[in-house]
Structure 1
Amino acid sequence: MRFTSEQRLEDGVLEREFTLDGIPGILWTPASASAAVPVPLIMLGHPPLGLPTMYPRLAARARQAAAEGFAAAAVELPGSGARPRWAAAEQARADLRRAREAGGPVSDGIVDALVLPLVDRAVPETRTALDALLALPEIGGPVGYSGGVISVGIRLAVVEPRIVAAGLFAGSLVPRVMVEEARRVTIPLHVLLQWDDEGNDRQAALDLFDAFGSAEKTLSANMGGHTGVPSFAGQDAVGFFARHLR
């Protein structure tokens, strides 16, 4: 890990950009974090739109986490932002756009081609980032995972024992094999669903929530479309992590 920039935000949060094996990332730590008092970490997931595009929303979530005494970090997804383009992913996105423009259903083949290779690449990279982040003296765990592509969150919840709780955003296109994998998730979950999300299938999101094997799982459903998430939903998510990371 190599830090490439550093700034102290007005609320005392230290924001540092880094690269890890050529992958860009951002780390936010609260002013209270130190080697003497290491803090838990929340990994912030995001859609494959690039860190620069997602920065305002990621920074807002990170600062909410810092107010509760947590560090937060995000790493760039494969094929996004400044990372090299990925021909198969570009083709899958184009196929998805055509299917939606035609007004027909999105086939399982398109969903699998879009999501499964991303999961297979992003999850090992996130685990490598965890290795580096948890080696910093001011970060001591435990770890939570928040948001992003829900299939990435499912896989991480199954394979990464350092993640003890996850806050997931419902509604991403989910391959059938990932629904089956969700049955193996056992950590506490807080799932956010926009009831009128125009780009996602509500029933599919409810079926996925039902499939999760966690004994503790909460569905927070709010009226409105994809961009209509109420501000208090973020505070609810932070409260969930406060219960499980302290």
Structure 2
Amino acid sequence: MHVTSEHTLDARTTERTFTIGDISGILWTPPAASAPAPLILLGQPGGLGMRRMYPRLVARARSAAAHGFAAVSVELPGAGDRTPLPGAKRARADLTRAIAAGEQPADDVIDRLILPLVDEAVPEWQSTLDELVHLPEIGERIGFSGGVIAVGVRLAAIDPRIAAAALFAGSHVPERTMHEARRVTIPLHVLLQWDDEGNDRARSLDLFDAFGSTQKTLHANMGGHTGVPQFAGDDATRFFVRHLGAARG
């Protein structure tokens, strides 16, 4: 892990940009505490890039730090200045065309758009974790928050370090993700925007039903993709406080 910059945002949050091989990311940590801080992995939508998402990411990180959590986000494959994933542009155009026409996107379109991203993003998240868990300020309890939901599902299914996940049901879901969901047994908090114009609501409900977790909660709010109410984020933070605890000063 190579730290490229470090500065203090406020009394509660230190921000470090870093690289791990070809992976670039940002780590936010709360003030030094007597115990290492639980870590929340901040997922983000595919294709937008951390530069565009930074205001939302840093707001989430500051909220996490206020509760004693560290937070980290990494640039997704194909996003920002990274090389586009092969076929992603065509698959996204096919998906957009189907939604605009009021049609159900074909499974092949969803697979071409989502699965290559998951196949690359999950190992990169794991490589990031391999480095961060050795930092003295980072604790053993780790959560995943946000999207892409298929990334969060696979990571939760295969990596035992993930102890809880708050997932945003904001993308179409491949059939493979439905099968992987049955292997997820950690506590879950799933946020669904009921009128999300870019989401398949029925598929999202099917995915929630497929999760193997005995502790899972679905929070559905009226409104579109960008209409998430403030209290929904507060609910997710309380979920992590319950299941990850927090560092104590």
Q: Give the TM-score category using the shorter length.
A: over 0.9
Cα deviation, residue 176, structure 1: 1.1
Contact 2:147 2:169 (8 Å CA) reproduced: no
Q: Which residue pairs with 1:5 in the alignment? A: 5
Alpha-carbon distance in structure 2 between the residues aligned to 1:98 and 1:219: 29
Segments of 5+ residues of structure 2 without an aligned counterpart are none
* C-alpha displacement of 1:172: 1.2
Whole-angstrom CA distance in 1 between matches of 2:11 and 2:234: 17
Task: Find the aligned partners of 2:75 and 2:241 in 1 and give their Cα distance.
Answer: 25
Aligned partner of 1:202 in structure 2 is: 201
Which SS does the other structure have where 1:168 is aligned? strand
User: Percent of aligned positions with the same letter in both sequences?
Assistant: 64
TM-score (norm 1): 0.96
1:213 aligns with 2:220: no
Residues 143-185 of structure 1 show CA distances to partners (whole Å, capped at 9, x for unaligned) of: 0000111011110111000000000001311011211211111
2:236 matches 1:237: yes
Deviates more, 1:152-161 or 1:1-10: 1-10
Distance, in Å, in 1 between the alignment partners of 2:175 and 2:77 is 22
Q: Return 201-210 or 38-47, whichever deviates more.
A: 201-210
Conserved? CA contact 1:32–1:69, under 8 Å:
no
Residue in 1 aligned with 2:53?
54
Q: Answer whether contact 2:170 2:225 (CA < 8 A) is retained.
A: no
Match of 1:122 in 2: 121
User: Residue 87 of structure 2: SS of its match in structure 1?
Assistant: helix
Aligned residues: 244
Match of 2:62 in 1: 63
Relative contact order, CA 8 A, sep 6+: which one is greater?
2
**Matches of 1:84 and 1:180, distance apart in 2:** 29
Q: Which runs of 4 or more aligned residues in structure 1 lie more than 6 Å from their structure 2 counterparts after TM superposition?
A: none
Q: Which residue of 2 aligns with 1:19?
A: 19
Residue 39 of structure 2: which of 26, 41, 49 is its match?
A: 41
8 A Cα contact 1:5 1:18, kept in partner: yes
Rounded to whole Å, the distance in 2 between the matches of 1:104 and 1:237 is: 32
Amino acid at match of 2:240: F
1:181 aligns with 2:180: yes
Q: Give the alignment's Cα RMSD to 1 decimal.
A: 1.2
Q: Deviations over 1:113-133 (max 9, x none)?
A: 011111111101000000111
Question: What SS does the corresponding residue of 2:131 show, helix, strand or coil?
Answer: helix
1:85-107: per-residue Cα shift (whole Å, max 9, x none)? 22322222222233233332211
Q: Kindly indicate whether the alpha-carbon contact (under 8 Å) linking 1:171 and 1:202 is maintained by their aligned counterparts in 2.
A: no
Task: Name the amino acid aligned to 1:29.
Answer: T
Q: Is the 8 A contact 1:191 1:217 kept in 2?
A: yes
Q: Secondary structure at the match of 1:87?
A: coil
Alignment match, 2:31? 31
Q: Distance in 2 between matches of 1:90 and 1:203?
A: 25
TM-score (norm 2): 0.94
